């Protein structure tokens, strides 16, 4: 995994946007995709909200994905393998880049056809604990006509990311505004935040 971690850190240093095309193994991506599909079939996903605590509201004009928080207490073998990978990545970041990450949170996200997430920043105004955003994609054979690109708004250009299976993006949650364009087919991912105190 060291190579994927280095790819992320090097592209983050160069460009504020860490990127690896092969962060999740095919086997783990397949298992997580199956988990997410099963949760969706069992109607376990919830409409995502915007805002924090008391200000939390569902607002489909801004955000149409459905989510489910991962947790080690689910005792799901594949979720736990995912957390093992995140623990390893956080140790790598803290030891090689002194990032001081003390926690994290991750949710599955499913965008049905026609849904999107308008331009936003991931850090809440009243809580700065989200230091880095990570997004990992679980979509096989994603094509241009499927839409659903992640647009990253840099100072003077927009970077377009395809939500390709196993790939990962990583950026500072307070820094880069971003948007998910409308999807023309179901779009699956895991999104999370690495936190500092
Ligand atoms: O799925 C993506 O590409 C981005 C998701 C996102 O911006 C978020 O959940 O905050
Ligand atoms: Fe976001």
Convert the pLDDT of each residue in 143-163 to its tens digit. Answer: 999 999 999 999 999 999 999
Query: What pLDDT digit, counting tens, does each position of 85-141 carry?
Result: 999 999 999 999 999 999 999 999 999 999 999 999 998 878 889 999 999 999 999
Ligand 1 touching residue 149 (CB < 6 A): no
| Contact assessment for residue 45 and residue 115, using Cβ atoms and an 8 Å cutoff | no
Give the per-residue pLDDT at 3.
Answer: 94
- 162: CATH: 2.60.120.620
Give the per-residue pLDDT at 75.
Answer: 97
Length of the chain in residues, anyone?
A: 197
Ligand 1 touching residue 189 (CB < 6 A): yes
φ, ψ of residue 32 in degrees (nearest 5): -70, -35
Q: Closest ligand 1 atom, CA of 150?
A: 3
Instruction: Please report how many Cα atoms fall inside a 13 Å half-sphere around the Cα of residue 76, on the Cβ side.
Output: 16
Domain-embedded: residue 56: no
Domain-embedded: residue 54: no
Dist. CA 30 → ligand 2 center (Å): 23
Domain-embedded: residue 57: no
Dist. CA 163 → ligand 2 center (Å): 14
Domain-embedded: residue 151: yes
Query: What pLDDT digit, counting tens, does each position of 15-53 carry?
Result: 999 999 999 999 999 999 999 999 999 999 999 887 776
| Contact assessment for residue 177 and residue 153, using Cβ atoms and an 8 Å cutoff | yes
Query: What pLDDT digit, counting tens, does each position of 54-93 carry?
Result: 677 777 889 999 999 999 999 999 999 999 999 999 999 9
Provide the ipTM. Answer: 0.99
For the cut 80, the answer to whether the pLDDT of residue 1 exceeds it is no
Dist. CA 180 → ligand 1 center (Å): 6
Give the per-residue pLDDT at 56.
Answer: 74
Ligand 1 touching residue 67 (CB < 6 A): no
Query: What pLDDT digit, counting tens, does each position of 157-186 carry?
Result: 999 999 999 999 999 999 999 999 999 999
Give the per-residue pLDDT at 126.
Answer: 80
What gap in Å lies between CA 58 and CA 122, rounded to an integer?
16
Structure tokens at 36: 């997410």
Give how many domains the chain has, as a whole number: 1
Domain extent at residue 175? 2-49+62-195
Domain-embedded: residue 32: yes
The residue whose CA is least distant from atom 3 of ligand 1 is 150
Dist. CA 109 → ligand 1 center (Å): 8
Domain-embedded: residue 44: yes
| Contact assessment for residue 184 and residue 113, using Cβ atoms and an 8 Å cutoff | yes
What gap in Å lies between CA 79 and CA 179, rounded to an integer?
26
Give the per-residue pLDDT at 42.
Answer: 98
Mean pLDDT of the chain: 95
């Amino acid at each position: 995994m060291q190579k994927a971690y280095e790819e992320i850190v090097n592209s983050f240093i160069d460009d504020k946007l860490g990127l690896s095309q092969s962060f999740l193994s095919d086997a783990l991506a397949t298992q997580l995709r199956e988990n997410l599909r099963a949760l969706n079939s069992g109607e376990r996903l919830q409409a995502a909200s915007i805002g924090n605590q008391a200000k939390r509201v569902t607002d489909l004009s801004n955000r149409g994905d459905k989510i489910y928080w991962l947790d080690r207490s689910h005792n799901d073998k594949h979720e736990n393998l995912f957390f093992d990978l995140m623990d390893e990545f956080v140790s790598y970041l803290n030891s090689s880049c002194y990032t001081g990450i003390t926690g994290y949170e991750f949710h599955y996200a499913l965008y049905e056809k026609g849904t999107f997430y308008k331009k936003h920043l991931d850090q809440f105004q009243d809580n700065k604990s989200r230091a880095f955003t990570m997004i990992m994609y679980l979509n096989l054979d994603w094509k241009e006509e499927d839409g659903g690109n992640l647009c990253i708004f840099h100072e003077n250009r927009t970077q377009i990311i395809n939500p390709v299976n196993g790939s990962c993006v990583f950026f500072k949650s307070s820094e880069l505004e971003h948007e998910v364009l409308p999807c023309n087919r179901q779009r699956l991912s895991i999104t999370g935040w690495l936190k500092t105190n």
